[in-house]
Amino acid sequence: MGESAGVLLTPSEIADLAGVTRGAVTNWRKRPSDPPFPDPAPESATKPLYDLEKVIAWLAETKPEIQIQRDGSQAALSHSLNALRGRVSTAVAGELALALCCAKKLSMEAADGNWRLIAAASTSQTVDVLRRISSDTATDPRWDDILSALDDVERETNGRLDTLPMAAMVSAVDGIDVDRLAVAADEVLRRGGGERGRAAGYGVGEHGIVNSRVSELLSNLASSTKGLVYDPACGIAEALIRTRTKCGGTVRLVGHDINARAIRFARMRSLLHELDAEFECGDVLHEDPDPDLRADTVVAEPPFGMDWSRSQNIADPRWVFGIPPANNSELAWLQHAIAHLKPNGSAYVVTSVAPLTARGSSASIRAELLRSGWIEAVILLPPKMLPHTTIPLALWVLRLADHASASNDVLLIDASESENPEAHALSWLDDCLTGSAAGAPPFELIKTLDLLADDAQLDPRRWVKTPGSDPKDVAARLADSQHVLENALATLLDHAVVPMPQGPSATPRLLTVKELVQLDVASIQNGRVKRDDLDERDAAALVTPNEVRDGLPVLDQLPIDAQPNLVGGRDERTRVGDVLVTTWNVVRAVVDKQGGRLIGNGVYRLRVDDKQCEPNYVARCLCGTWNERFKKGATIQRVDLRELEIPLIPLSEQARLVGALREIEQLARQAAAVAEAAAASATAILDAVRYDAPIGGDE
């Protein structure tokens, strides 16, 4: 079978294939070309999919300069799953892809020729051939997960597996070298998690993400392990697989998880990665699956805030530090990790920040952990360590101290502003504990006694000094703030004369924008360009309502004048002097001083005859208080741009008034600078008092 036989691509996958932006693909699809861009597959009307072979042929003919991003069929396996869209869930489609990779791996290991039978089978026969081979090799339990995957597919198709278009998937697997099957399978999981978010990625997203930052963090911390690594909430085994890769052949892996499909994924992935690992499915908190297991290192990213039924096992010996709250299991996971450590073992557990500060029984458990000498460090992690949530996370480093004592130090690190904690956490722990942490984030070594006196609060932000809290730094900041305030005030006083503009020589003629249009003095264009329809350069020139509000950015590269228009042959680009307006909630207007921009949704372009109207005068009048009476709507108010009134005066007087307004606006900016500098100075004075820095004559 050919690499691309029957493979369908989404527009995003076409962009990856061609090494271009999504906007460029949208332009290819919408703009005329010879030959035209391929039509989408008939069965993908709502979410278009495109035949890979036809796309490659079109690129070769119309875009010969583009180098197709070939990858030895690894991405083709992910692409082939598009053919199953709407027929089975993404979870089952991903599971089927992994099962086929495992079938090829097992067949090639045994050199039994079974994969050739699978690859040669027709679409309607593929599943039957897989089942027959699985039955014939019943002595190898690794085929059980393949059979389970087929059972899942059968349930979703009501027994009609023969109707699935599996040719592209089998073809893709057939084209992958055996030593690259693991990479291809991981790509399936990575793309699935990236497209649908962790909670939906192929149905096991909540049990791990391929290439997640948290898994990278845990595997780096466990990278020096020589014995047993245990993950009690292993999910798809991402942390264990990464740990094994970094430790080499010196570790044994054990994983538990409550989700049967996640365990099945973990076993299939470890088969493809050629790992010696043991996995078991079960509710770990309800019943310890292996009470005698002792690990050199425990890594865990357990569920956050999970409700658990403590009433069923309150006598469990693991809860030696206290019964965790029923509505929050994270302190139970910490105790489970400790219960399974060897005497000199270490546990690295990632939780939400809630267990660091929760009151009641949570505080009692933290206190017992501190008294027993188990908490070596807590690191506050930055946001977005997980792609699907901004929940702040914390890393607990659990290791029994040589001698439990109230004088023991606990390391608290505030890495909430760090860019790459997964790469540096291990060195931070070593350097901060030994006093050589030159490049570490803010940290403090706090005595256990002090922590216990404050309800065992462990949030590093409560204890770590903020940057710049050193008295010398505070004193310098105070001096700088006073200097800035003096300069800002001097600048304001230099312009203390309020300009008094001369009024118009005649009564203004009040005209609406609609009347200006009827008199051919102005024209209006409603912005309709969408960012997804643009390539990278044009996207930088797109004007959105936010940019009208905040000010137009300077364009580094003006578009080429000869570039074809985007919509209906109209002139879509702005010119110098165009007034760009938004009318939702508050009327805002800005004059384009560069031109060459594209108008996005929610933005109007008002182009005026500059021999009769000064654009800056028009922009200011549109925002006049008299136009507020035209607002309509209960929740989101808006106005009709055509109804807004412009008090028209002679052109020379428009320019004179604009000049006076600019002087007043400059005065307002200088006054704002004084207010900002005064606020900074007041903050510095209070900081100086707090951190005992010299103030004024005390210096």
Selected residue with higher pLDDT from 504 and 324? 324
Q: What pLDDT score was predicted for residue 577?
A: 95
**In the structure encoding, which two tokens stand for residue 588, read together?**
């805002």
Strand ranges inside 211-352, DSSP E? 228-231, 252-257, 277-281, 295-300, 341-352
Question: Looking at this protein, which amino acid is placed at residue 381?
Answer: L
Q: What pLDDT score was predicted for residue 500?
A: 65
State how far the alpha carbon of 451 is from the alpha carbons of 280, 354, 408, 457, in Å.
38, 17, 11, 6
Could you tell me whether strands 341-352 and 579-582 are parallel, antiparallel, or unpaired per DSSP bridges? unpaired
Could you tell me whether strands 604-608 and 522-526 are parallel, antiparallel, or unpaired per DSSP bridges? antiparallel
Q: What pLDDT score was predicted for residue 202?
A: 38
What mean pLDDT comes out for the span 610-626?
95
Nearest Cα residue to 359 out of 285, 291, 456, 451: 456
* Cα-Cα-Cα-Cα dihedral sign, residues 615, 616, 618, 622: positive
Query: In the sheet that 341-352 helps form, which strands lie side by side, from edge to edge?
Result: 277-281, 252-257, 228-231, 295-300, 341-352, 393-398, 375-380, 409-414, 443-447
Q: Pseudo-torsion of CA 237, 241, 247, 248, nearest 10°?
A: 140
Selected residue with higher pLDDT from 154 and 216? 216
Asked whether the predicted pLDDT for residue 210 surpasses 90, the reply is: no
Q: What pLDDT score was predicted for residue 168?
A: 79
Q: Pseudo-torsion of CA 58, 62, 64, 67, nearest 10°?
A: -50
Domains 8-70 and 207-463 share a fold: no
Asked whether the predicted pLDDT for residue 394 surpasses 80, the reply is: yes
Q: What pLDDT score was predicted for residue 73?
A: 54
Asked whether the predicted pLDDT for residue 196 surpasses 60, the reply is: no
Q: What pLDDT score was predicted for residue 151?
A: 84
d(CA 313, CA 336): 13
* Cα-Cα-Cα-Cα dihedral sign, residues 558, 559, 562, 566: negative
Per the prediction, the chain carries an average pLDDT of: 84
Nearest Cα residue to 444 out of 471, 465, 473: 465
What mean pLDDT comes out for the span 589-608?
94
Selected residue with higher pLDDT from 231 and 186? 231
Asked whether the predicted pLDDT for residue 333 surpasses 60, the reply is: yes
What mean pLDDT comes out for the span 445-467?
90
Asked whether the predicted pLDDT for residue 537 surpasses 80, the reply is: no
Where do the structural domains in the chain lie, given as residue ranges? Answer: 8-70, 80-202, 207-463, 468-506+649-699, 526-638
Which class does domain 207-463 fall in?
Answer: alpha beta
Task: Give Cα 544 to chain centroid, integer Å.
Answer: 23
CATH number of 8-70: 1.10.10
Residues 493-511 pLDDT 10s: 887 666 666 777 778 999 9
Highest average pLDDT, of 256-270, 420-434, 474-488, 492-506, comes from 256-270
Scored b (16 or more CB within 10 A) or e, 580-619 reads bbbbeeebbbbbbeeebbbbbebbbbbbbeeeebbbbbbb
The terminus-to-terminus CA distance of the chain in angstroms comes to 83
Selected residue with higher pLDDT from 662 and 124? 662
State how far the alpha carbon of 3 is from the alpha carbons of 76, 126, 175, 272, in Å.
7, 18, 6, 21
Q: What pLDDT score was predicted for residue 311?
A: 59
Asked whether the predicted pLDDT for residue 326 surpasses 70, the reply is: yes
d(CA 286, CA 145): 25
Q: What pLDDT score was predicted for residue 241?
A: 93
Q: What pLDDT score was predicted for residue 440?
A: 84
Residues 59-92 pLDDT 10s: 888 888 777 765 545 567 877 777 777 777 777 8
Highest average pLDDT, of 42-46, 116-120, 240-244, comes from 240-244
DSSP at 81:
G
